[in-house]
Amino acid sequence: MALYLLWLVTTALALAGAWGVLVYLRRREAYFQSVQAILRAPLEIDEFAGQAQTLCESCTQETGASGCSLYLQPGEQESGFRRAAQAGRPAEETGPGVVRDLLNQAWDTGQSVESNYGGRWLAAVPVWPGHLGGGALLVTWDSNRAPGKVERGLLEATATVASLLAPRFAREGALARAHEELQALHVEIAEESHLAGVGRLAAGVAHELNTPLGAVLTMVGSLSRTVQDPSSARRLQIMRDAVEKCKAIIEKLLVYSRGPIETERGLTFSRFVRASTDLNRTIESCVELMRENLSEAGISVSLDLGEIPEFRANTTQWSHVFNNLLVNARDALRSGGTADPRIQVRTRSDRERIQIEISDNGPGIPPEVLSHVFEPFFTTKDIGHGTGLGLAIVREVVRKHQGAIQVKSEPGAGATFVIQLPLQQDFESTPAARPEARA
């Protein structure tokens, strides 16, 4: 009887063992079949997202996990992990800090990391560590129990497959970036040619108007010398002011226009002359010129001017830039009813560039206006108050110095204009640059 019982127990144990092995093998086989299908798929870059998704789904299913995510490092320009695929419940439910720590640990050590947080078990397995497109696979179980040998084995296998997919992600990332850059370039070229057209038109109109306006001014001048009647003298003065205003607008158009302009005194490049310039001094003198006007409006100005190197620039053009930005900030603060109206100018520099920030705490720029502010002739100011050329000129001057300008603004939280200027300027590459370089 005892012998029979012993035989029964050992047979049962053997059968259970064989069953376990069979289940394990079948699970592995089913799993590897799905994985093989992924790997056999053609190396289509567009397929990456779908393949990664299938991998995460089968990993969740086979390991009995509540969720599985594949995180990858997008590239040299971006740091940190990006979630490339997700199945089941996301690991972030445990807390983003926890996820980041586990991913970093797996990435840095190249080893699997496991941890238990608030009733969930998390395991991070490195994927193609040390390479662009590499990352980690993060799997969560809704239990305090550590995953068994089978689950761990499947997880390692999934990470190996993900490592084979990762280079596709790197390629996809590089292609996507190249595509984005091309699109941005395309938009810029279209804008550039539009602006060049407007610039040529502006230069032509300015030139055509300058001569007759000059004649009107001369006539008004000679009439005012002969006229005795005070009322006529006052009218002539009004005419002179109006013509002067027109000439000032034309002067703005000339700054905006791209090429050399023919004036009464012949062809001139003078507005393009560049010399070694201290932009901090230019800012200080612009602020000084406007100080009285600003304090009359109750606006305080603070200057935080860091040490910046001398910059090859056209001082007149930069005076226009700072003046336009300060006038805009003043107008915004005047209109907005800000309790403590302030303008701040900040300059900084590193070895490669100079950064200039002009910010105000005015009403800010609404999103529907923000995308148009640099367009020539765009203004929200009343007739007679705005020409819509200020920021177009600013951007043009910044471009002529091979820099970039950005505006950041939230309605109700002021506006900040940020100018970045490269210290190494390539004069040959800008069409308007040759005469400047010569000067």
CA atoms within 13 A on the CB side of 419: 26
- 337, 308, 318, 344: which is closest to 416 by C-alpha? 344
Yes or no: say if 85 and 109 are a contact pair by the CB < 8 Å rule.
Answer: no
Q: Is 263 in the site for ligand ADP (CB under 6 A)?
A: no
- Least distance between ligand ADP and beta carbon 330 (Å): 9
- Asked if 290 and 360 touch (Cβ cutoff 8 Å), the reply is no
Among the residue ranges 1-9, 10-18, 279-287, 365-373, the one whose residues contact ligand ADP (CB under 6 A):
365-373
Q: Which is nearer to ligand ADP, 68 or 365 (CB)?
A: 365
State the burial class of residue 92 (Cβ atoms within 10 Å of its Cβ: 0-12, 13-18, 19+). Answer: middle
Instruction: Measure the CA dihedral 171/174/177/182, to 10°.
Output: -100
Q: Is 186 in the site for ligand ADP (CB under 6 A)?
A: no
Is 279 one of the binding residues for ligand ADP (CB under 6 A)? no
Does 328 sit near ligand ADP (CB under 6 A)?
yes
Nearest-approach distance from CB 352 to ligand ADP, in angstroms: 27
Burial class, 409, CB count within 10 angstroms (exposed 0-12 / middle 13-18 / buried 19+):
buried
Residue closer to ligand ADP (CB basis): 106 or 398: 398
Which of the stretches 62-70, 102-110, 245-253, 321-329 binds ligand ADP when contact is defined by CB under 6 A?
321-329
Nearest to 337 by CA among 373, 299, 369, 366: 299
CB of 253 to ligand ADP, least distance (A): 13
| Nearest alpha-carbon partner for 365 in 397, 321, 335 | 335
| Site stretch for ligand ADP (CB under 6 A), options 22-30, 102-110, 119-127, 357-365 | 357-365
**Does position 360 bind ligand ADP by CB under 6 A?**
yes
Minimal distance in Å, beta carbon 380 to ligand ADP? Answer: 3
Tell whether residue 381 is a contact of ligand ADP (CB under 6 A).
Answer: yes
393-396 long-range CB contacts below 8 Å, 24 or more apart? Answer: 393/252, 393/255, 393/256, 393/320, 393/321, 393/324, 394/320, 394/321, 394/324, 394/325, 396/195, 396/199, 396/255, 396/256, 396/258
Distance from C-alpha of 12 to C-alpha of 384, rounded to nearest angstrom: 98
Residue 60 in contact with ligand ADP, rule: CB under 6 A: no
Which region, judged by CB under 6 A, interacts with ligand ADP, from 5-13, 131-139, 188-196, 362-370?
Answer: 362-370
CB of 386 to ligand ADP, least distance (A): 3
Q: Is 365 in the site for ligand ADP (CB under 6 A)?
A: yes
* Contacts with ligand ADP, 393-422, as mask; x by CB under 6 A: ----------------------x-------
Residue closest to ligand ADP, measured at CB: 390
Comparison of 234 and 381: residue with beta carbon closer to ligand ADP:
381
Least Cβ distance, residue 281 to ligand ADP (angstroms) = 23
Distances (CA, A) of 389 to 254, 259, 368, 374, 414: 11, 17, 18, 8, 21
Please answer whether residues 272 and 432 qualify as being in contact, where contact means their C-beta atoms are separated by less than 8 angstroms: yes
**CB under 6 A: which stretch of 75-83, 178-186, 281-289, 389-397 binds ligand ADP?**
389-397
Per-residue tokens: 423: 């210290």
Phi, psi (deg, nearest 5) at residue 57: -65, -45
Q: Does the footprint of ligand ADP cover residue 373 (CB under 6 A)?
A: yes
Q: Give the closest residue to 52 by CA, choosing from 164, 175, 218.
A: 164
Q: Does residue 273 belong to the site contacting ligand ADP (CB under 6 A)? A: no
Q: How far is the CB of 377 from ligand ADP (least distance, A)?
A: 8
Q: Kind and range of the H or E element at 69?
A: strand 67-72
Q: Is the dihedral of CA 43, 45, 49, 52 positive or negative?
A: positive
Question: Taking the alpha carbons of 429, 430, 431, 437 in that order, is the dihedral positive or negative?
Answer: negative
Nearest distance, CB of residue 379 and ligand ADP, angstroms: 3
Should residue 387 be labelled a site residue for ligand ADP when binding is judged by CB under 6 A? yes
Looking at the DSSP bridge assignments, the partners of residue 138 are 69, 124
Using CB under 6 A, which of 195, 287, 329, 421 touches ligand ADP?
329
> Cα–Cα distance between 380 and 30 in angstroms, integer?
66
Q: Any contact of residue 63 with ligand ADP (CB under 6 A)?
A: no
Is 294 an interacting residue with respect to ligand ADP (CB under 6 A)?
no
Q: Does 332 bind ligand ADP (CB under 6 A)?
A: yes
Q: Contact residues for ligand ADP (CB under 6 A)?
A: 324, 328-329, 332, 360, 362, 365, 369, 373, 378-381, 386-388, 390-392, 415
